[in-house]
Structure 1
Amino acid sequence: MVANIPPPKDDSIEVFLRILDERKRHLDFYQRIKNDWQKSIEIYIKHKGNPEKIAALDLLLYTKDEDEAEDRKKSLIGLYSPQQGKTPHEILSKMRREHGLICCPSCGEAGIPGTLDHYLPKDEFPELSVLLLNLTPMCFECQQAKGTQYKTNNGSKKYIHPYFDEVTTPLYKITFQPPYNSPKFSIVMNDDIEPDLLKLANEHAIGIDLTLRLKKFCNTKYVHLLKSAKRHRDKGGRVGLGEIIEILLQSEEDKSINCWEAVFYRSALADKDLIDYLENGDLPDNL
């Protein structure tokens, strides 16, 4: 939702082959599934994780019955929780800790995302449970909201993929409905977004419960803005408040063009009546 981020530095196929080489148990199963497993990974990479182009492997084709298929499904999912010293334990640890992000790439909320989300869920795609390009940094709130969803009701792609989908422009904005001493907030998509991205961004926003979460943020952020306006006026500031907000916006956009603070300041600047109120209107007494 925020912007695309650099993919993992380690090569996904090389890591897959190392994982496979370390297997000591169920070797017959892994030999039977190896070629199709690698093809599945290559298809994922070719189609950039698009679930409309990717089908889960049928584990019954590589096992003798449903019980064994269920057991091997657990084995595949278990690869995501390797013991220390096994591939990809250290790689996953670095992906969680050393991604360099200071806001969630899924929603834009400030804070260092500390978990990895399976873009295509491991319960349905166990063979992709340790595919590095299927693992994306995400905040806890987004992960809880997304759950195991990955398609819309009509079977199309539901979520923006932070490694593959190009997001280089502001996706959404906030509208401030007067009275400005206590406005109501609405979250709307920008009109100039390319149609396919606009459709995907809308689905993504619904899936991570963006509107409700961002409105709560706005309630708190707006109080801070009112307090800043009061302090500025009390000190007889010579620089217009709009210019100060512009500076704040530039700083936030360095984090991400769609982080919540950037969206808030950009939207405030676009509302000339709001800026006039902050500079000249009657601010609330209880600030």
Structure 2
Amino acid sequence: MQQTVVEHIEPVAQDVVALTLRARDGHLAPWEPGAHIDLELPNWLTRPYSLCGDPADRDTYRVAVRHDPLSRGGSEYVHRFLRTGRPLAVSAPRNHFPLVPAPAHLFLAGGIGITPLLPMLRAARAAGRPATLLYTGRSARTMPFVDELRRAHGDRVRVVETERQGRPDLTALAAALDPDTHVHCCGPAPMLAAADAAFPADRLHTERFQPTERAFGPGTAFEAHCARSGDTVAVPAGTSLLDALADAGHPLPSGCREGVCGSCEVTVLDGEPEHRDDIGAARGRMYTCVSRALTPRLVLDL
């Protein structure tokens, strides 16, 4: 973990604050647009947030946090109790939503989904590639960084306030899109579903804050053998691999616990995982918060 201090807390929209985290010693780990970090909050919770600052700045990270009325304690703590000067441990950046090189870019953001797309838009324009942003939200007052985006990018940013203008027609937008343009989309589930229906799958890249609703069979019991320690951990049918490992003295970082952030990734040395995540685990990897086993035993690099 990297050690930072909360340097600045700034309201950037209704119920949204931006945090500037400064390195306590040396430089922070480098990152690229689309990356996120885990914050270890003082209330013992770990939560993932997309980086929305400048990748060239190795001294600070910036993230934005919306106050969720159904918060499990993460956003509530940030909004009610976090103060400047507070030390915070943060993970190294991880990126499951990279900016895919393309001749041209369209970015689609819904609400707090603007955070990973903000540095993508800057990077695409800095590289000299045509890039536009369609940014939707209930109203401008609820949409973080609207003024910053308009100042920096002018008419390349289209802001749609859905309570006045309704939702944009993504099907019509897709029909008019140049075939070389790639689309990066992050936002609420209805926006992602509309984007999935409108744009070709090979040119659409999405990030989800909530898992896709999918049906899986019952989770059967299995064993997880930790190759480095030699321990074998029983994983009951109703217990996640993440929790079983923690109970056996092998805690892993965990943020979302829903298979969308990637903080609980492990390497699988033997056996076949049953992947239930929304990231798309690489071969030989799995996410322990939701995924299980298709074989009676998994061997993990733990």
Q: TM-score, normalised by structure 2?
A: 0.21
- Which structure has more relative contact order (CA 8 Å, sep 6+)? It is 1
- The structure with the larger Rg is 1
Q: Pick the structure with more helix per residue.
A: 1
